[in-house]
Amino acid sequence: MTKVKSEKLKVKNLVAQIILICSILFYHSQKLSAQIISVTLKADSNHIVIGDFLNVKLTVKFPKEEVVTMPSVFDSVGTMELVKSSKIDTTISGDTKIFSQTFTVSAYDSGNFRAGPLTILSKNKSGIIDTIISDYVFVRVATVAVDTTKPIKPIKEPLGVPYSWKEFIPYIIGGIVLLVLIIAFTYFIMRRKNKKPIVVERPKPKEPAHIWARKELKTLEEEKLWQHNEIKMYYSRLTDILRLYLEYRYNWFALESTTEEIIENISSYHISEDAKEKLLMILEQGDFVKFAKMTPLPDVNMKVMENSYSFIDLTEQTEIKTDQKINV
C-alpha cells in the first residue's frame, strides 16, 4: 500500500514539474515576442476642437525575417472618424524593419474619445501567427468657445478668389474641339449636298424608243417563258424592258429605281393617267412574282403583256409616223 502511494506521489510531482516548465517557457516566449516586436501609437495632441484634424502615427518595429501585416482601417480609428491614411513607410535599420503609417482622424461632437487600439498580425519563420494590440490615445474634444456677451454677427460673404488661366484650359480645349466638329459636320453636309450623283448613261438604240421596246416585247413573247414555268424570268425581263423604255424615252434612269420611287416620281413626266395605271399595274405584278413568289394565272400573264404594248402606244413620241410601228 505504501509503495502504491509512493508511485502516485512521483506522478504528481512529475506533472507539477511539467506544468511549471511549460509556464516558464510560455512566459519567456511572450517576453521574447514582446521584445522582438515593438508597437507604438502616438498622437500629435490630446486636445482638439470639434472638426479639427488630428494625426495619429502607428510605428511597428520587428525583425526582417518576420512577416507583419498592418491594420486595415476604413472608417474609424477607435472611436474617432478616419479622414485619411498615409501610405505605409518602410525603413530598415540593421536586422530591424520599421513600418510607420499616419492616420488623420477627427470628431464632430464634444467629449472624450479614443484613438486606437489597432491590431497588427505577425508571422515568424516557423509560420506561427501572432496578434499584437497597440496602445490607445485618449483625446479630449472641446466645443468652440462662444462669447455670449457680444452681439451676433452676420454671416460673412464668400471670399473672392481670382481665377487662374489654367482653370479655363478644359473649357478652351472643349470649345476648340466643338468648333472643329461643327466645321467638319457643315463641310460634310455641304459637300454631300453639292455632290452630284455619278450617272453612267447606257448607249441608246439607234431606232426610236417605242420601236425598240416593241421588238423586245415581241422577242419575249416568242420565248414563251411563262408557258415553260419560267414565270419569274418572264416578269423580270418584262419590267426591265419597260424601265429601259422610260430611260430611252424620257431620259429617266428607271432601271435603278424601285417601284415605289417610280410611283413617287412619275407625275414629273407627261404621262396620261391611263398609261400610269397600266405601268404601275405591270410593275406591282412583277414585284409580287419576284419578291412574294406569287404565281399568276395564265390570263394575268397575257394581260400584263397587252398592257405593256398599250403603255408604249400611249407614250410613244407623236412626231414619229405611225407606219413605223411594228405589226404585232
Q: Which of residues 142, 166, 200 is at a domain's end?
A: 142
Domain membership of residue 149 (yes or no) is no
CB neighbours (10 Å) of residue 132?
18
Tell me how long the chain is.
328
Domain membership of residue 245 (yes or no) is yes
pTM: 0.39
Domain membership of residue 182 (yes or no) is no
What pLDDT, on a 0 to 100 scale, did the predictor assign at position 12?
61
Count the domains in the chain.
2
Q: Which of residues 99, 118, 142 is at a domain's end?
A: 142
What pLDDT tens digit does each residue of the chain (328 aa) get? 455 555 665 656 666 566 656 555 554 454 444 448 889 999 999 999 998 999 999 999 999 888 999 998 889 999 999 999 999 999 998 889 999 999 999 999 999 999 999 999 988 888 888 888 998 999 999 987 777 777 777 777 777 778 777 888 888 898 899 999 999 888 888 777 665 555 556 677 888 989 999 999 999 999 999 899 999 999 999 999 999 988 888 888 888 888 888 888 888 888 889 988 999 999 998 889 888 888 889 898 899 999 999 999 998 877 544 444 444 3
Q: Which residues contact 48 (CB under 8 A, 6 or more apart)?
A: 54, 106, 107, 139, 140, 141, 142
Residue 215 and residue 313 share a domain? yes
Quote the CA–CA distance of 59 and 102 in Å, as a whole number.
Answer: 9
Residue 119 and residue 42 share a domain? yes
Residue 314 and residue 217 share a domain? yes
Which of 146, 134, 138, 135 lies closest to 105 in space, CA to CA? 138
Residue 318 and residue 231 share a domain? yes
Domain membership of residue 265 (yes or no) is yes
Which of 139, 134, 105 lies closest to 121 in space, CA to CA? 134
Quote the CA–CA distance of 139 and 129 in Å, as a whole number.
Answer: 32
Residue 307 and residue 217 share a domain? yes
CATH code for the domain in which residue 97 is found: 2.60.40.740
Cell of 2: 505504501
Domain membership of residue 21 (yes or no) is no
Residue 320 and residue 216 share a domain? yes
Residue 219 and residue 316 share a domain? yes
Which domain, by its residues, includes 79?
36-142
**What is the number of alpha carbons within 13 Å of residue 183 lying toward its C-beta?**
6
Q: Which of residues 118, 142, 166 is at a domain's end?
A: 142
Domain membership of residue 197 (yes or no) is no
Domain membership of residue 232 (yes or no) is yes
Domain membership of residue 107 (yes or no) is yes
What pLDDT, on a 0 to 100 scale, did the predictor assign at position 5?
52
Q: Sort strands 47-49 and 137-142 into parallel, antiparallel or unpaired.
A: parallel
